[in-house]
Structure 1
């Protein structure tokens, strides 16, 4: 998912970007209203996170421009982030076309939760990329790449790989893997895990080195500096 963050306070802007990138979102940031509107036209993001008070163009100005010209700027969801707490400011932002309003100071985890909630509420699909070394999973296309080359995987290979990467550096028991990847109502036996681990190890060089067997327990995908 592509996100444009517009915040003139550099510390807050960097904090927001840091937490969004941890969630594997594609993020571009700006601290200026004029620059932001150019970025939005170029990127056509899925989501805007806008401060209300900005140099040159306010968050409300940007919202109105974007909403008036969807053919130029796309139709992003908009979350306004501001220190202004008067009810009139909230109403103005929402009437201009913002979908959500969050007040400063805020916990970045709250912002992430708000983003996920607004996506769920509006039905807009969250497209994320998951990376591990030279492996990239594009969830929007259900495709996996290694060094930018597409790797063909079965449905269960894809789900098992994704589960290992999401839970990297954790010891995952065979029972846990069966429950989470195959489902609690399907018990093909521990052997199926070993077979599928062997399959994905054979398709990705990095897994041969980093996906470790924990004897008598299960597996652990170890993240090293790449």
Structure 2
């Protein structure tokens, strides 16, 4: 999944990026609203983590302005603990909020919950035919058989699972898996697809190569 973090505190931003990257997410960091707008103009995100007080303006006003055309879920990061501040953020379009300082495990849980609600799911598990994919546990299982996935394999399967039956090009997969500053090529996608294909193939999930177009996942 690809996240945008809008936070001007460099130390906090680095900590958040490092923690979420450990889970295999791609994180772009913007230290100002202007930089955040540039990122939004350049690509789509699965989730935005938005600070309130930024050098060039108020994150809540930025959110309200962008909500006209922006459907991406947003979690507001705020040091303000008053109920009125939290209510204001929600009324201006935030899907959730978390008060600083926060525990990283809570942030991760809130990210999962917001994405789950946006996907219309009541729990984290995703059904792929007769196979159950659990992004939180990092596993796929069928009956009593369970296969564990590494972080990048996990996020790649999550992308396929959220686009069932669709052909996804290498560039689309690159966009979902890697941030702007990642030094990778499309060959990396071939490697990760190959690894994932071997694991999910044991469970009856097939990742098909569509020549000249990309890849498509199908579950039996």
TM superposition score category, shorter chain reference: 0.5 to 0.7
The question of whether the paired residues in 1 share the 8 Å contact of 2:23 and 2:151 is answered with: no
The question of whether the paired residues in 2 share the 8 Å contact of 1:4 and 1:27 is answered with: yes
SS of the counterpart of 2:67?
Answer: helix
1:100 aligns with 2:141: no
Match for residue 118 of structure 1?
Answer: 114
Q: Which has the higher contact order (CA 8 A, sep 6+)?
A: 2
Q: In the TM superposition, what is the alpha-carbon distance from 1:152 to its structure 2 partner?
A: 6.3
Q: In the TM superposition, what is the alpha-carbon distance from 1:87 to its structure 2 partner?
A: 1.2
The question of whether the paired residues in 2 share the 8 Å contact of 1:3 and 1:47 is answered with: yes
Distance 1:136 1:10, change over 3 A: same
1:141 aligns with 2:160: yes
What is the alpha-carbon distance in structure 2 between the residues aligned to residue 42 and residue 100 of structure 1? Answer: 24
Match for residue 52 of structure 1?
Answer: 52
Q: In the TM superposition, what is the alpha-carbon distance from 1:138 to its structure 2 partner?
A: 2.2
The question of whether the paired residues in 2 share the 8 Å contact of 1:63 and 1:97 is answered with: yes
Match for residue 83 of structure 2?
Answer: 87
- Structure of higher CA gyration radius: 1
Q: TM-score, normalised by structure 2?
A: 0.60
Q: Which has the higher helix share?
A: 1
SS of the counterpart of 2:53?
Answer: coil
The question of whether the paired residues in 2 share the 8 Å contact of 1:81 and 1:103 is answered with: yes
What is the alpha-carbon distance in structure 2 between the residues aligned to residue 34 and residue 21 of structure 1? Answer: 24
Q: In the TM superposition, what is the alpha-carbon distance from 1:59 to its structure 2 partner?
A: 1.2
The question of whether the paired residues in 2 share the 8 Å contact of 1:136 and 1:146 is answered with: no
Give 5+ residue unaligned stretches, structure 1: 162-180, 183-226
Give 5+ residue unaligned stretches, structure 2: 125-134, 139-148, 162-167, 174-185, 205-220
Q: What's the Cα RMSD here?
A: 3.5
Give CA-to-partner distance per residue, 1:130-184, whole Å, 9 cap, x none: 567xx897212379997543766897x32388xxxxxxxxxxxxxxxxxxx79xx
Match for residue 13 of structure 2?
Answer: 13
SS of the counterpart of 2:94?
Answer: coil
What is the alpha-carbon distance in structure 1 between the residues aligned to residue 84 and residue 16 of structure 2? Answer: 25
1:196-215 maps to which residues of 2 (within 5 A)? none
The question of whether the paired residues in 2 share the 8 Å contact of 1:2 and 1:25 is answered with: yes
Q: Which runs of 4+ in 1 moved over 2 A?
A: 124-132, 135-138, 141-155, 157-161
What is the alpha-carbon distance in structure 1 between the residues aligned to residue 5 and residue 69 of structure 2? Answer: 19
SS of the counterpart of 1:24?
Answer: coil
Q: TM-score, normalised by structure 1?
A: 0.58
What is the alpha-carbon distance in structure 2 between the residues aligned to residue 9 and residue 45 of structure 1? Answer: 21
SS of the counterpart of 2:57?
Answer: coil
